[in-house]
Amino acid sequence: MVEKRVPDFPAFIRSPQNRIARASQFMDDIEGYVFDGADGSQVAFWACKADRVSTEHAHDFDEYVVVIEGRCTAILEGRRIELVAGQELYIPKRTRQSMAVIAGTRTMHVFGGKRAKREAEV
C-alpha cells in the first residue's frame, strides 16, 4: 500500500461536526467532510491517504466532481475517465460509478441530494 501525506483542508472544514461517517463512504482510508445546502444538496470534501478504489454505486441525484489535488479515474458504466487537479466531471443521477484514486488525492463533490451522514448522525 502506498501512503502519502495529504495536505490538510482548512481547520473549519475539518471540524469534527462535519466529518463524514465511515458508514457513508464507499472507500476505505479516506477522510471526508460534508456541508449541507438549503435546497437539500450537499458538498463533500475528501482526502485519500492511500491508493484506493471505491465500491460501485449509484445516486438518485446528479453529482459534480472537482479534483483539487492528485489524480483519479472515474469509472462510469464501465467507461474510464482520467482526471487530474483542476479538472471536473458531471455524473448524471443513477449512473453506475466507482472511483480509483492515488494517494494524496483531494476532491470536492457536489451532490444534488443528501449523500452523506455525519459521524454524529449514525
Task: Answer whether 0.75 is exceeded by the pTM.
Answer: yes
pLDDT digits (tens, 9 = 90+) for 74-93: 999 999 999 999 999 999 99
Q: What is the 3-state secondary structure (H, E, C) of 67-117?
A: EEECEEEEEECCEEEEEECCCEEEECCCCCEEEEECCCCEEEEEECCCCCC
pLDDT digits (tens, 9 = 90+) for 19-31: 999 888 887 778 9
